[in-house]
Structure 1
Amino acid sequence: MVGPTLDAIVAAKAEAQADLIETPVLPLTSARWDGILPDCAGVTVKLELFQQAGSFKARGALLGIRHLTAAQRAAGVVAASGGNHALAVSWAAQAAGVDALIMMPKATDPARIAGCEALGATVRLHDDMAAAFAAMNAAAERGRALMHPFEAEHMVLGAATCGYEYVTQAPQVDTFIIPIGGGGMISGMACAIKQMRPDARVIGVEPFGADSMSQSFAAGEPVRIDRVATIADSLGAPLAMPLSYGVARAYVDDIVKIEDRAMLAAMDIYQNVLRITAEPACAASLAAMIGPLKEDLSGRQVGIIACGSNISLARYAALMAAL
């Protein structure tokens, strides 16, 4: 068995359900979607942006902090992130009374920094994500409990509870389109989906400028890419790592790549049709469905995920100005 078992996923969902939101699944049946959606049997979107701390990351962060030992709680936790994971760890740590140290790149949206600080976390800024990760690892070596943004069993398990929910809420869906950053979300969701619906297709989505998982699939092992270049900072992992790569490789059927401009167009659609202010990663599934996958989805019941929306209005406006 690669990844968490279905029994473990069900147990994790039961353990955390009092503190998490079972986010809604919305069928995209309004006439306002006419001419946008592919010619498929149906489309639903799981609105995980309404999760605690604004993204799916809250699931894994909560499980990780709940499972700390007494000594680890006393030492505090450390994480590196440009946004969603940072906010999730800050939220889960505050709820548990655990001190949180968050390493973030200097280019991080100021609203995300302020959000972490409002939740009681200490934020330290670094030149870039690589420097933030190095600082995270150094703090862990000095004794803090490491809360890695994707390469951790609790992160995969947390994402698996999202996949379990989706299949339970929308059992008709036979094709799931899931964004890929470091691989924590797609590995966990795919693991749950395939155990519940072995015949379902799971398709990952990466920006062309952050395609570490695509390159890893091609190489047959986790690889690091030379450069990250995408507006989707939540999908900007510079490498794949053994755990999340291994689980994803076992359950993901295919990966497609999308341009940044396609995410901007999908963000605009979410705003105009659902009145959702989506960050780029949040719009990636929609962008892939109406873009490179559009001709392959005929007759399918498609499920996409709006995975998070931690973006300031200033950052959103700056991005949309380029559309």
Structure 2
Amino acid sequence: MAEIALVTLDDIRTAATRIADQVLRTPLVATSWGEADRPLWLKPENLQVIGAFKVRGALNAVGALTEQERARGIVTHSSGNHAQAVALAGREYAAPVTVVMPETAPEVKVAATRALGAEVVMVPAAERESRTAELVAEHDYAYVPPYEHPDVIAGQGTIGLEILADLPDVATVLVPVGGGGLLSGVATAIKALRPNVTVLGCEPELAGDAAESMRLGERRVWPVEQTYRTMADSLRTGLGELTWAHLHERVDGVLTVTEDAIAEAVRVLATRSRLVAEPGGAVTTAAYLSHAGDLPAGPVVAVVSGGNIEPDLLVKLLGS
């Protein structure tokens, strides 16, 4: 593997200082339904102001830009949560934001992004990155990627610092993985401070590119016609070279879960822990429910990464 500079613990601590007054320091929520020898705690990032963890990385990355860069405008691509996060960060720093979103993005996320003041450009899913590159070339916008950027990874890594501060004896941390920014950041923070803690990514079987990459020891990219089969819209993107380098170096493995398991996890979170989670945010709970017996003994933390679920889908899942 070519040498790639990885995010450091100092980068994450710098991010924590930068965004401390702009994000919610989410608590760890104990559950009553976990296994006795592997008690489960939830890290509810769905409680962030935009309903997802993405606000951490976006605020850190936008905050690290110069005033001149922000004034030219900011662009990104996203299925919805990063879109809202960058739109919010742009509003915080008085910077215009354009977001390229796939036509399959949930309407609740599209509407929320527009409500935060961003201009939204809808494109076929396969064109989100190419259209973003065109806008950068046309307008000289500052590009804030959804995951493939050290400042974004460092911002997401602040979650790892909080987990260790609140539960020092944690044995396993379960983290959703799509593009890999969240998993890269959390693994960096935890392995730097507690290398014996097991850090596992969690993803749908229908978008299991990270699991395949870990199994083969090389980055694998699945086409959108495969990954877009899963209901977990926030996890349909593949790993970048930077995030893969972090996973390869710092993550212990990746668990995959079925669509039925994800649906059950959404129901369990809503009815037993009173938390509304979108499918992508529920994959860690699905992984715990499906694989708890395979985890190391000791406390487990599952990151509930987001709660921006279409109301109709939530009703459908709760009623099934």
1:167-246 map, 5 Å: 167-226=164-223, 227-228=226-227, 229-237=229-237, 239-246=238-245
SS in 1 for 2:50: helix
* 1:177-208 C-alpha deviation (Å, 9 max, x unpaired): 11101100001000100111111101111111
* 1:244-297 C-alpha deviation (Å, 9 max, x unpaired): 110111111111111111010000001111222210011111100110x22123
**What percentage of aligned pairs have identical amino acids?**
31
- Equivalent position to 1:62, from 40, 59, 62: 59
Runs of 4+ in structure 1 over 3 Å off: 318-321
Q: Number of aligned pairs?
A: 313
Asked if 1 retains the 8 angstrom alpha-carbon contact of 2:279 and 2:309, the reply is no
Asked if 2 retains the 8 angstrom alpha-carbon contact of 1:206 and 1:256, the reply is yes
Q: Residue 95 of structure 1 aligns with which residue?
A: 92
Q: Matches of 1:276 and 1:187 in 2, distance apart?
A: 25
State the TM-score, normalized to the length of structure 1.
0.92
Offset, 1:315: 3.2
Q: Residue 301 of structure 2 aligns with which residue?
A: 303
Q: Residue 29 of structure 2 aligns with which residue?
A: 26
Asked if 2 retains the 8 angstrom alpha-carbon contact of 1:223 and 1:241, the reply is no
Asked if 1 retains the 8 angstrom alpha-carbon contact of 2:44 and 2:303, the reply is yes
Q: Matches of 2:296 and 2:194 in 1, distance apart?
A: 19
Asked if 1 retains the 8 angstrom alpha-carbon contact of 2:219 and 2:244, the reply is yes
1:77-116 map, 5 Å: 77-116=74-113
Offset, 1:118: 0.9
Q: Matches of 1:92 and 1:116 in 2, distance apart?
A: 11
Q: Residue 263 of structure 1 aligns with which residue?
A: 262
Q: Matches of 2:288 and 2:72 in 1, distance apart?
A: 44
Q: Residue 284 of structure 1 aligns with which residue?
A: 283
- The alignment's C-alpha RMSD in Å is 1.6
Q: Matches of 1:274 and 1:206 in 2, distance apart?
A: 21
1:6-17 map, 5 Å: 6-17=9-20
- Equivalent position to 2:131, from 131, 135, 153: 135
SS in 2 for 1:240: coil
Stretches of structure 1 that go unaligned for 5 or more consecutive residues are none
Letter in 2 for 1:235: L
Q: Matches of 1:27 and 1:263 in 2, distance apart?
A: 20
Letter in 2 for 1:254: G
